[in-house]
Chain A
Amino acid sequence: MNSRGSKTLHIFIFVIVMGTVSGIFLVGVNLWTAPLIAKNEEIKIKSAVLDVLEIPYTKPDLLNVFQEKVREIKKERVILYKGPDEAVAFEFYGPGLWGPVFGFVSINSDLKTIRTIKILHQEETPGLGARIAEAAYLNQFRNKEFLPKLLFVPQGKSSAKNEVDAITGATGSSRALERLLNETLQKNISMLQK
């Protein structure tokens, strides 16, 4: 074989060997970490559900408390979590202003008012839109009626039972959250009443 051919062969073998070795290595790393990552994910979701259903728990016995007190109901690909006091929690997921917003919302047993909202993931502007995830902001949703529609009004002007404050300077994020919450709540409530 001439030198050019052997050079090409060398490159070829090198690339294949390197790809295989690093691939095998990464498969190993993945096998090792995948169960841990799946468990973290499960803990994240279950602790959020317990939080919004307001069931007290401590970190070590989180999974036991969840199993004892929460019933999972699967309906049309949506999982509804029912607490011991008939409150219902479910997730909401959709676009915010800059990126996806993901969280959990719980409604009281009368199926008319919101209990708690918790946002697990958002990518809004820090200090402005990102405030939608702060407890101080989300507390105002407590006992608000979401039927026929939850309304976001300019900051400080909310008075009616279905009105909450929007965030000044974060109109886009507020609107996105308003639409997302209304859509999810309406869809899931009609499913619950069936």
Chain B
Amino acid sequence: MPKKIIKRSFKHTKPYKALTTGMWQDHPTFCMVLGICSMLAITNRLDNAIAMGVGVTFCTAFSSLFVSIFRNTIPSRVRMLAYMVIIATFVICVDRFLKAYFPPISEAMGPYVGLIITNCILMGRAEAYAVKNGPWLSFLDGVGCGVGYSFMLVLMAVVREIIGFGTLLGFRVMPETWTNWVVMTIAPGAFFLLGVYLWIFRTIAKKTE
């Protein structure tokens, strides 16, 4: 992460903060530790991870936007229900879109596209940020969290696909003599890898604080 010297004025604006907190300071994975289930499940190949990242970013951004727009109309007693309906609407859109235009990716991700609905990041951002802030900031916050999450998905997938399949985006990168680590292609391998990443990033984060 760059040091805070470039432009104080720009870096201290609210939109910038809203966008970047999700990418580093309040990173969904290594700070809030949310959305882990789907992360373990779909990061075995890079193309899946990218599709999932784009899907989650789209869903967080727009569900945050809409929650924020209606934040004064949503009765507080049914706010959870309202979040769920808004989130579910966007997730179904993503699911149908993938099925219609990218059938192979939709096939590979199986039920995990639909399960974005249960991804805690979306609910967490709606409850923690969107319901208290304006639409534009909430949208940026959603994008930031989505990008932060996607970044982590890609990091996981790169390592898992190279070690587990010997390929990257389907192209062979390891020599033919390479023995695939089967454990990396299944969820337990991802769990270990995630642990290592958490350790690395938390150590770095502590230093920058």
- The interface size of chain A toward B, counting residues with CB under 8 Å, comes to 23
List B residues 73-115 near A (Cβ within 8 Å). Answer: 73-75, 77-78, 81-82, 85-86, 88-89, 92-93, 96-97, 99-101, 103, 107, 110
B118 within 8 A of partner (CB): no
Q: For residues 20 through 72 of chain A, which have their beta carbon under 8 Å from a beta carbon of chain B?
A: 22, 25-26, 29-30, 33, 36-37, 40, 44
Q: Which residues of B contact A121 (CB under 8 A)?
A: 107
Residues of chain B contacted by A109 (CB below 8 angstroms): none
Residues of A103-124 whose CB lies within 8 A of B: 121, 123
The smallest beta-carbon distance between B179 and chain A, in angstroms, is 11
Whether A26 and B182, one on each chain, are in contact in the complex, defined by CB atoms closer than 8 angstroms, is no
Give complex CA distance A37, B98 in Å: 9
Is B78 a contact partner of A40 (Cβ separation < 8 A)? no
Contacts of B75 in A (CB 8 A): 7, 10-11, 14
Q: A14-B78, A15-B78, A26-B92 are in contact. Are A126 and B182 (CB under 8 A)?
A: yes
Say yes or no for B44: interface residue by CB 8 A criterion. Answer: yes
Query: Do the beta carbons of B182 and A128 come within 8 Å of each other?
Result: yes
Whether the Cβ atoms of A30 and B182 lie closer than 8 Å is no
Tell me, in angstroms, the Cα distance from A21 to B89 when the chains sit together.
10
Whether B100 and A33, one on each chain, are in contact in the complex, defined by CB atoms closer than 8 angstroms, is: yes
In the complex, the answer to whether B82 meets A18 with C-beta atoms within 8 Å is yes
| CB neighbours of B73 from chain A (8 A) | 14
B74 & A127 in contact (Cβ 8 Å cutoff) = no
Q: Please, how many angstroms separate the alpha-carbon atoms of A30 and B92 in the complex?
A: 9
Residue A19 at the chain B interface, CB threshold 8 Å: yes
Given A14-B75, A30-B96, A40-B100, verify A25-B182 contact (CB < 8 Å). no
Binding site for A on B (CB under 8 A): 44, 73-75, 77-78, 81-82, 85-86, 88-89, 92-93, 96-97, 99-101, 103, 107, 110, 164, 180, 182, 185-186
